[in-house]
Amino acid sequence: MTDLAVLADAPWPVIGLSLLLLVAPAFAEPLRHRWHLPSLIAALLVALLAPTPAIAYSAVAVGALVHARAAWPASRTGAAMLAISAGLALAVAAALAAGELTLAFALSCLTIAMRAGVMPFHSGVASLCDRIPVVQTQQLASGIALVFVHLRFADNHAMAAAGPMLERYGAAAALIAALITLAQKDLRGFYRGTTTMHAGVLIAAIGAAAIGDYGAALMVTATMGLALVGLGMMVTSLEERVGPTPFSGPGGRVGTFPKLALAFALFGGAGVGLPGTAGFIADDLLLHALWMNSPASAIALILAAALLAVTTLIAFSRVFLGRTTPSRAPDLYPRERIVAATLLLLLILLGFAPGLLLEPSGALLE
């Protein structure tokens, strides 16, 4: 009966979302990056179902090491970042076991910062975005589990004083990243900068959660995962068809790849708060929380989102609009279409019914 009660109280929306984002890249590209999925799925389930912080953070550490092993052949920097984050997760477990709540909170925030890629801890994620984006998209799925474990075990009312500081830091990092993204010259740089900007937003949301606003943190995490995994897959799919894509090169690919272009636009729009998507709800919840505690942080995030929206429009116009560039490569394959449609459907579903994620997960965290 106790086991049934534990299963009934499990964060099933977070589990389902994390598993989907973990499997999606491997499903879209079935010949690559599948060998480590069983280990990652097991680690994710243990982390989210664990009854104690020691088990949860240990499972997070195991998942990070598996990701590091997958990243090592292509990105030594990314693999090192993931290995360091695994060590930090184990340190969090030890600090919680010793009752050092302040230290555990700080180390857990640092772990999230490294896995998300917030400045100045962004070199590992930037390398993954450049060299092996499929591992980056998969470790983003594990990052959702890390954030939930943080909110469940490491976040506590004693850390409320750190909330405004994290909000200001995250907002400033997001604004700087958005400015840097505006200066990027190719599609891979755009994706790298977009990821770094979202990492700053996530840290601001972690600050809001420290003050008690779990809803903003959950929605920002879900939006970041869905939008960035989808966007990363579209960038990878396009580059597999046409090669590296500088903004100075020929555009006009919307006629050749209409489905890919549409998915790219929708994922990019969701990442900057497109109405009707989860991104709009996430921005609304986070900006409301920031405005109550740090209006300057709210203004900085609004500017960052506006700059990223401009950059997204520039990237779309340079890559897809203009005189048609012929190509013999096909549009999205059926597997890629299924994944893109599923992720977009979830972004829209959470945009109209955020309670599907917030109510059960928020109740468990409270």
What pLDDT, in 10s, does the model give residues 184-237?
999 999 999 999 999 999 999 999 988 878 888 999 999 999 999 999 999 999
Supply the pLDDT for residue 362: 64
Average per-residue pLDDT for the chain: 89
For 33, counting Cβ atoms within 10 Å of its Cβ (0-12 exposed, 13-18 middle, 19+ buried), the class is middle
Task: Determine contact, residues 194/182, Cβ cutoff 8 Å.
Answer: no
Residue 157 clears pLDDT 70, i.e. is over it: no
- Domain range for 125: 2-365
Task: Determine contact, residues 131/78, Cβ cutoff 8 Å.
Answer: yes
Any residues with CB less than 8 A from the CB of 14 and at least 6 apart, and which?
48, 144, 145, 148, 218, 357, 361
Q: What CA–CA distance (Å, rounded) separates 267 from 353?
A: 18
Q: Residue 263: CA atoms inside 13 Å, Cβ hemisphere, count?
A: 29
Residue 160 clears pLDDT 80, i.e. is over it: no
Query: What band does 107 get if pLDDT is binned at 50, 70 and 90?
Result: very high
Residue 9 clears pLDDT 70, i.e. is over it: no
The tens digit of pLDDT for each residue in 15-40 reads 888 999 888 888 877 555 566 888 89
Q: What CA–CA distance (Å, rounded) separates 235 from 233?
A: 5
Q: What does the pLDDT average to over 100-117?
A: 93
Q: What does the pLDDT average to over 231-256?
A: 88
Supply the pLDDT for residue 31: 53
Tell me the three state secondary structure of residue 186: strand
Supply the pLDDT for residue 34: 66
Residue 3 clears pLDDT 60, i.e. is over it: no
Quote the distance between the C-alpha of residue 154 and its chain's center.
Answer: 20
Q: What does the pLDDT average to over 278-293?
A: 90
Give phi and psi for 250, each to the nearest 5.
-70, 140
Query: What band does 83 get if pLDDT is binned at 50, 70 and 90?
Result: very high
Supply the pLDDT for residue 227: 94
For 310, counting Cβ atoms within 10 Å of its Cβ (0-12 exposed, 13-18 middle, 19+ buried), the class is middle
For the chain, helix (H) and strand (E) counts, in that order, are 16, 0
Residue 306 clears pLDDT 90, i.e. is over it: yes
Number of structural domains the chain divides into:
1
Quote the distance between the C-alpha of residue 352 and its chain's center.
Answer: 20
Query: What band does 251 get if pLDDT is binned at 50, 70 and 90?
Result: confident
Task: Determine contact, residues 260/344, Cβ cutoff 8 Å.
Answer: no
Residue 2 clears pLDDT 50, i.e. is over it: no
